[in-house]
Chains A and B, each alone.
Chain A
């Protein structure tokens, strides 16, 4: 095989298409010089440990949302952390309510490649009674036109846990959707 057999193009999108097809292509730039591109796959099976965050993810499988509370200053974190961000002291696990309110929200119409097929999806930062910090989650069963700051919402849990943060999501509380 010699370079002459490679497809030459001055369109970058055609380079990408050609790489998918044959694995190599020549991009011809404005000055006429030929730049060789090759396809170069890169996949990793990562061994991810939740370590000190593990009880939170095990809790989701039991239908519980577990935050942490500082043993010294009593600040309650809705997104758990092993040590307090204010005084550095250890925290202990506490159960949070499964009802909350929307603190902030958006609807994503695009996303990272891994989530493109799920678009559009709603992201919400959730406020809980008794917790001072927030938790990021998805809000399902409603659209962009329904959501507002302060909207009451309720937790739902996956029947079959995947031990991911996606085992938990929220839906509008009964009666909170626009009539």
Chain B
């Protein structure tokens, strides 16, 4: 990767349609590599999630057209919430296969074109329309179901086994777990205070997160990402070409992708897919993935780690930008990606490993800086214009690894010192598809 560009994510961009948003993101990326002429781009991979939001089929053709890249090759990528991550990997494959020397990955979403609850309906159409959608199709509801089981498996059983009244024990587990989840939301909102691209930076505290509107119990509004308009672009090329274009290219070291059933109800109850540093006895009694964990995330992580030669991700990675559409799914993803074992996600938050050492969160974070997660603010604070989101992560990770956060954010506060290797993680519909990409600097 030699360059990236992002538009500010916003509730609405009335002054730009999707073509101009993409043009802006593309021009920002081009400004960093002045030696790259338009005819030096061999082709594109273009991503957006929903034709319903766009109400324009073949919108990717209009982006290609507007950027002045006809008649070169292009493909539209769609893969639910993981659309941006898939687009990035598709561009990587175009280059790695030798088909192109230089490929542009660019994505967008314009979600402001319908009211928020209509937008939720469009998103819920990415659930089974026979069995799931008509019951009250609502993604926050689906993720709430998943975290309720996660709380039952790991918190009720591990921390409240001394309470014999089942209902009361589960209530205590939910109360404890949601306080921990709220800390993730505080982290991401407060990190974003130093990211000028973020849509919802906020100096919020745990009480503010828990006191916001209840959306789907136990998820409150401040634990959920929002609808956004935005675009993001990444330029990928061969190593030889990269050296001609920039002094600071970033290597795509590993790619992984995993999938799971569309319906939550179909998820199997089998054995855990083990990380190299885990053993079967760690999970002797765990039925996996059930609805408590994202098997696709684990599968994607395993493939990417193998490809990149990573044995222990918690030690071998310096940071992760992951798909925190919900505070709960960030915790579930720590476990999928092997930052801690299954069941240790809540303790992992309390230990503070995923927090930044130089940000005040209003509560102690003893091990801050061990492996910062979503230093940019993630989806919860940056927004989630679906087709752009995974590419936004790639751009933020690229800047981290280049050491250019200060230049791009106007402050060094979110720069992770000596960041050498990072991961980005893009995730679709209750974990039905996930990508993980490992990026490495010099």
Contacts and interface: CB of A to CB of B under 8 A. Distances in A.
Interface in B146-199: 146, 148-149, 152, 156, 166-167, 170
Contact of A136 (B115, B124, B135, B216): B135
A58 interface: no
B118 A113 contact: yes
Contacts of B145: 104-106, 123-125
Given A27-B14, A133-B266, A138-B136, A113 B121 contact: yes
A85 B260 CA distance: 11
A107 B216 contact: yes
Interface string A13-38: 00110000000000101010101010
B14 A35 contact: yes
Given A111-B120, A166-B135, A85 B266 contact: yes
Interface residues of A, number: 54
B12 A12 contact: yes
B15 A12 contact: no
B130 A115 contact: no
Contacts of A138: 135-136
A48 interface: yes
Contacts of B28: none
B265 A78 contact: yes
Contacts of B138: 108, 110-112, 115
Most buried by B among A81, A116, A132, A134: A134
B62 interface: no
B136 A108 contact: yes
Contacts of A116: 117
Interface in A63-79: 77-79
Contacts of A77: 266
Contacts of A166: 134-135
Nearest to A109: B214
B129 interface: yes
A138 B135 CA distance: 7
B11 interface: yes
Contacts of A134: 264-267, 291
Nearest to B291: A104
16 contacts: A12-B14, A48-B129, A53-B130, A104-B145, A104-B146, A105-B148, A106-B148, A108-B215, A111-B120, A112-B124, A112-B138, A118-B136, A123-B141, A123-B145, A136-B135, A178-B167
Interface of B: 11-12, 14-15, 55, 112, 115, 117-118, 120-121, 124, 129-132, 134-138, 140-141, 144-146, 148-149, 152, 156, 166-167, 170, 213-218, 261, 263-269, 291
Interface of A: 12, 15-16, 27, 29, 31, 33, 35, 37, 40, 42, 48, 50, 53, 77-79, 81, 85-86, 103-116, 118, 121, 123-125, 132-138, 144, 148-150, 164-166, 178
Given A109-B214, A165-B135, 4 more contacts: A105-B145, A112-B136, A123-B141, A134-B265
